Every structure is written in structure tokens, then in C-alpha cells.
Amino acid sequence: MHPLTCAANFHILSSMNSTTRDGAKLALALHGGAGTIPRAQLNAEREGAYRDGLQQALRRGWQALSDGGTALDAVEEVVREMEDNPLFNAGRGSVFTHNEKHEMDAAIMSGKDLQAGAVAAVSGIKNPITLARRVMEQTPHVLMCGSGAEEFAREAGFEIAPPEYFFSEFRYEQLMEARREDEVRLDHSSVKKFGTVGAVARDARGHLAAATSTGGMTNKRYGRVGDTAIIGAGTYADDKTCAISCTGVGEFFIRTVAAYDVACLMKYKGLTLDEACEQVVNVTLREMGGEGGLVAVDHAGNVSLPFNSEGMYRAWITSGSEVQIAIYHD
């Protein structure tokens, strides 16, 4: 993107109504995956496309929050926008499984009442995050998977998209490359990029929410489920502490119960959001070799976006502050 276009859009965003009548702090943070394309390989055109995608998603969620919408609505809006964008590994842009299918995971959680909904290994669903929300709101369950979740989607009136909707030459090439090297990979192969998408928000009533959606890992075995769909691993929200959405090698985030660990460190050890995130991402996960990052917001509207990979596509905004969009550490 041309710098001027970017600046103009920032202006529009930052001038949107970002404070509420009672002065409560709104906050929104999102990610488009950790472990970005190495800086040397990211040309201006591609960088502009990613930044546009992040900004568009942030704008949609911030509009919802500024209009008095709930944190839950805002995170769903953000994730839907990114699921529709083929650049990100979620919804339309999902990576291929080993047997050339798409299997997606998604989860959403409300910090107000600890309600949660998730779907795992679903195919043909354009917006898995909305299906996850339906599971939360219209069933007594938390997590539904595979054909049962797809049947529920059909009953709930979801349009089932054909495989072509999810096909892209680029993703197919990634699969061929991963197969050749017999590896399970996170989105971009040799240029290691984790493309999961996610968002966390704090609304005007002080409620928190988190949402995460992914196509998982290129060349994964069918039936493999990552951290995204696991409440407490890749997604968590509790008004008393924080809301978290993770990205990275899912197996590590499951084994460390990463998202819940951040909340626990705040709840039981009294750590600040930054301290708790730092401990989980740069100590616990790093020590195990768990590459990735997360976005987080706490009950006061502070945001934290740590990652231990080269980069993490991310954007955030809080009441009274400017829009921030970043990819690498600086």
C-alpha cells in the first residue's frame, strides 16, 4: 500500500467514535497469524495487501464496538472478514490437508458468562466462526466436530460451499511442496507463516470476548485438530482477567493450555496482562520450542500482542489511541 493511502485510512479510523458516553475504554486487537513471511521476501505489494486486510478487519470490528455492539459481535465480525479474505489461513484461504481437503477449526468465547462454542475439522463452511457461535448459542454443547457439526450447520441454514470456493493455486503448491518434503507445515512452508486469524475485544459494558479461526496446518492428517478449537488452548475469555486468541504450532499451545495459562497467571499470581503474556509466549512456549504468539486484552482494556516468531500480522486500537498495524518486531 502507498504510505499516503495508509495514513489516510488511519486518520479515518482514529477519528471514528472511540470513546463511549460513560468513558469506558473500548479495545480491539487482532492477528492474522504468527511466523510471517521473512521480511526479505515480503515485497511492497504483498505487504500492502496484508496491511489492507488487517485494517479492513479492524475497521469492521471497531465500527461494531463504536456503535455500542458487544465484544462478542466485534470479534465475530473481525474473524468473518478475515475468513472471507483468501490471504489468511481461515475460511476461504484455508490450507490443504494431506488428502487435498480443507478442514477448519474455530472457537468463540464470551468473557461475561464463560459461554463458549467451537467447531473442529469442518469442511464446506464459509464462516466457521459463525458456526462456532451457533454451537454456543443454540446447542447445549461446546465443541462439535466433523460430519456432526456439518449436519448441524445444514440444519441451521448455513450454505455449504463447494471445494472450489476454498481452492487456490498458491495453497495447492504449498501442499505439493510439503508433501515432497514429507512435512506438516504451518501455512507458508519454506517461508514459515502461521496464518490463523483471531480477535479479542473489550466493549463499552466492560465485557470481553475472543474468537479464533483456522485452516490448520498444510499437509496435516485429516482429523487433526489444533489449539484453535480447544477452549483454554488457543481461545479463552473471562471478564475477570482477559481474552486471548493464539496462533502458532497448535500442539504446543494445547500442551501448555496457553490461553488459559495467561488468565491463570493473572488470576492466581496477580501478574499484569503483559507479564502473564510474556511468561507464556517467551518463557513457557519458547522453552518447549513452541513458535507463535497471541493477542490479548484485559478487563481494563489494556492490550498485549507478544510473539516469539519472526513476525505476527497484527492490528489493534483502543479508545483515544491511534490504529496500529504491524508485522515484525519493530
130 contacts ligand ASP (rule: CB under 6 A): no
**Closest CB to ligand ASP among residues 89, 127:** 89
Q: Does 228 bind ligand ASP (CB under 6 A)?
A: yes
* Dist. CA 217–CA 204, nearest whole Å: 36
Smallest separation (angstroms) from ligand ASP to the CB of 85:
15
Residue placing its CB nearer to ligand ASP in the complex, 9 or 214: 214
Q: Does 83 bind ligand ASP (CB under 6 A)?
A: no
Q: Are strands 197-202 and 292-298 parallel, antiparallel or unpaired?
A: unpaired
32 binds ligand ASP (CB under 6 A): no
C-alpha cell at 255: 500442551
Does 89 sit near ligand ASP (CB under 6 A)? yes
**Rounded CA separation 282/286 (Å):** 5
Residue 311 · residue 187 · CB < 8 Å: no
Instruction: Give first-to-last CA distance, the chain, whole Å.
Output: 18
Query: Nearer to ligand ASP by C-beta: 88 or 152?
Result: 88
Please report whether residue 227 would count as binding ligand ASP according to CB under 6 A: yes
DSSP code of residue 2: -
Q: Please identify which residue in 29, 30, 186, 315 interacts with ligand ASP, judged by CB under 6 A.
A: 186
- Give me the least distance between CB of 134 and ligand ASP, in Å please: 21
- Asked if 128 touches ligand ASP (CB under 6 A), the answer is no
- SS3 (DSSP) at 43: coil
Residue 196: CA count within 13 A, CB half-sphere:
35
Residue 103 interacts with ligand ASP (CB under 6 A)? no
- Identify whether the C-beta of residue 132 lies closer than 8 Å to the C-beta of residue 118: yes
Place of cell 495508509: 6
Q: According to CB under 6 A, which one of 55, 66, 213, 247 is a site residue for ligand ASP?
A: 247
Q: Which of 196, 212, 228, 256 is catalytic?
A: 196
Smallest distance, ligand ASP to C-beta of residue 198, A: 8
Residue 235 interacts with ligand ASP (CB under 6 A)? no
Q: How far is CA 14 from CA 17, 53, 85, 174, 295, in A?
A: 8, 17, 23, 37, 20
236 binds ligand ASP (CB under 6 A): no
Closer to ligand ASP by Cβ: residue 65 or 295? 295
**Any idea what DSSP says for residue 187?**
B
Q: For this structure, is 196 an active site residue?
A: yes
